[in-house]
């Protein structure tokens, strides 16, 4: 089995080039069909995301596997891009290095943000498209199924996926979740209706939040966001009242000055009684004056506070990276060993069949002589067993050598030698 991969990723390729080489779902299907016609004895899977475009190939015959230049030219030609213009940014792998790259990608160890969860589903989707188009067969089945196993092991056996590293995810999972035991009975106020607010709401809803209000100067945008999250829209003029009634406040406006001063908030505080409030000020510049956080019943976190947690979690993920790579390397070793056994299986089976055939012919020749001399059935049975043991002892050394060298680079040459010595033909 022989493997190769060519691709352009965020590591070496700028966004404008990746955009030129990107494939839509429809284009992936079409490109794979064209690839199959051009290289009929090569399996292929095409992975295209915002951060990478990669073509994975496999063939049972080394001379049927296109080289990196041919594969790169195929990808670029599909988009009418000159290969020479982007060849310097090309990443190309072959053999076990291709498998390691695939496993690293699936486990999110090669991502722009290590540990991001989306890439595994993208890898699975690319594989499923290849299966539907029948450009992925036995070799790709094994590789991509094992890639999923590797990704799950990394997720379960390391902390890489458990550390949040975006400001909204940290705000909810590591700040708000520590402050509140649950969210289903908490009154939540979102100030602003931009992308940061939308992402934060998504995490809050996933955590069980039900009572959500949105206050935004642009009512149309607030209404669209409210519909998406089953929230209630309140006019901007009711901001103070909403603040007084809320347990958790998330503020994400684009105002150039704070929208809430200490003096104004103290007036709101008098309406709240003694209830504490958690304020996640995710706006830049800040929406709430820093002095508000000094009040005894107010817990105010800014983007800088949350970014420190993000940075700490990023370092924690990076510290887990060697452990994750060990899992990848171990799985590659297992995969290659299993692949070797599969590839040598037909040869070993043929060798045993030939040996059994020789044994059968010689035993039958001897049997006719033994029967003419009146040899009893028990003796004939013992001779048959002895012939079987003889065959097994003759085959034992070469088969043991194959097994002991299953992870060696010499294994393929040993198989070839075995076929020649014993004249094994397909």
Q: Indicate the helix (H) or strand (E) that contains 389.
A: helix 377-404
Q: Within 13 A of 32's CA, how many CA atoms are on the CB side?
A: 29
How many independent structural domains does the chain possess?
A: 3
Residues 21 and 157 in one domain: yes
Residues 172 and 158 in one domain: no
CATH of the domain at 302: 3.40.50.720
Q: Are 160 and 113 in contact (CB under 8 A)?
A: no
Residue 184 per-residue DSSP state: T
DSSP secondary structure string, 21-71? H---HHHHHHHHHHHHHHSTT-EEEEEE-SSEEEEEEEESSGGGSPPHHHH
Residues 270 and 218 in one domain: yes
DSSP-H helix ranges across 166-302? 167-170, 177-179, 195-206, 219-229, 239-245, 262-272
Residues 100 and 180 in one domain: no
Burial class (CB in 10 A: 0-12, 13-18, 19+), 295: middle
Decide: pTM greater than 0.85. Answer: no
Q: Are 110 and 101 in contact (CB under 8 A)?
A: yes
Question: At which of 104, 136, 162 does a domain end?
Answer: 162
Question: At which of 255, 287, 310 does a domain end?
Answer: 310
Residues 29 and 61 in one domain: yes
Q: Is residue 337 part of a domain?
A: no
DSSP-H helix ranges across 163-218? 167-170, 177-179, 195-206
Residues 113 and 185 in one domain: no
Residues 54 and 156 in one domain: yes
Residues 135 and 189 in one domain: no
CA 266 → CA 123, 243, 289, 358, distances in Å? 52, 11, 12, 99
- The token pair at 178 is 């520590």
Residues 201 and 224 in one domain: yes
The C-alpha atoms of residue 224 and residue 107 are separated, in whole angstroms, by: 35
Tens of pLDDT, residue by residue, the chain (426 residues): 789 999 999 888 988 898 899 999 999 999 999 999 999 999 999 999 878 999 999 998 888 899 999 999 999 999 999 999 999 999 999 999 999 999 999 998 887 666 666 788 899 999 999 999 999 998 999 999 999 999 999 989 987 766 655 778 788 887 898 899 999 999 999 999 988 889 899 989 999 999 999 999 999 999 999 999 999 999 999 999 999 999 999 999 988 899 999 999 999 988 877 789 999 999 888 999 999 999 989 999 998 888 787 677 777 777 778 888 999 999 998 888 777 666 666 677 777 878 788 888 888 888 888 777 888 888 888 888 888 888 888 888 877 777 666 655 566 677 777 777 777 776
| SS3 of residue 107 by DSSP | coil
Question: At which of 130, 162, 194 does a domain end?
Answer: 162
Residues 178 and 158 in one domain: no
Among the options 50, 131, 242, 310, which is catalytic?
Answer: 50
50 is catalytic: yes
Residues 248 and 394 in one domain: no
* Domain of 262, in residue numbers: 167-310
């Amino acid at each position: 089995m022989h493997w190769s991969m060519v691709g352009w990723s965020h590591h070496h390729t700028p966004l404008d080039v990746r955009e030129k080489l990107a494939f839509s779902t429809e284009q992936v299907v079409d490109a794979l069909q064209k690839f199959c016609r051009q290289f009929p004895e090569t399996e292929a899977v095409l992975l295209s995301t915002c951060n990478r475009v990669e073509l994975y190939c496999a063939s049972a015959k080394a001379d049927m596997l296109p080289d990196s230049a041919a594969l790169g030219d195929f990808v670029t030609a599909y988009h009418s891009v000159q290969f020479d213009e982007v060849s310097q940014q090309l990443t190309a792998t072959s053999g076990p290095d291709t498998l390691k790259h695939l496993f690293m990608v699936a486990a999110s160890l090669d991502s722009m943000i290590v540990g991001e969860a989306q890439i595994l589903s993208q890898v699975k989707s690319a594989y499923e498209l290849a299966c539907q188009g029948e450009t992925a067969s036995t070799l790709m089945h094994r590789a991509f199924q094992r890639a999923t196993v590797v990704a799950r092991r990394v997720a379960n056996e390391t902390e890489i996926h458990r550390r949040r590293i975006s400001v909204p995810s940290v705000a909810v999972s590591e700040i708000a979740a520590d402050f509140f035991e649950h969210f289903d009975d908490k009154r939540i106020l979102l100030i602003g209706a931009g992308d940061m607010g939308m992402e934060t709401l998504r995490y809050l809803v996933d955590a069980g939040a039900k009572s959500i209000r949105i206050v935004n100067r642009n009512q149309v945008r607030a209404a669209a966001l409210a519909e998406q999250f089953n929230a209630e829209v309140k006019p901007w003029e009711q901001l103070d009242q909403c603040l007084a009634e809320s347990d958790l406040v998330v503020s994400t406006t684009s105002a150039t000055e704070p929208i809430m001063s200490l003096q104004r908030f103290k007036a709101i505080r008098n309406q709240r009684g003694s209830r504490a409030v958690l304020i996640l000020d995710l706006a830049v510049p800040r929406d709430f004056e820093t002095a508000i956080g000094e009040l005894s019943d107010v817990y105010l976190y800014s983007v800088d506070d949350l970014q420190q947690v993000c940075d700490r979690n990023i370092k924690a993920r990076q510290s887990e990276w060697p452990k994750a790579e060990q899992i990848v390397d171990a799985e590659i070793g297992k995969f290659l060993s299993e692949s070797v056994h599969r590839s040598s299986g037909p040869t070993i089976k043929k060798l045993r069949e030939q040996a059994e055939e020789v044994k059968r012919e010689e035993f039958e020749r001897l049997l006719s002589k033994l029967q003419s001399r009146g040899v009893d059935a028990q003796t004939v049975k013992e001779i048959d067993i002895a012939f079987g043991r003889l065959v097994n002892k003759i085959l034992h050394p070469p088969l043991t050598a194959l097994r002991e060298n299953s992870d060696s680079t010499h294994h393929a040459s040993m198989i070839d030698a075995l076929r020649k010595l014993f004249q094994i033909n397909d």
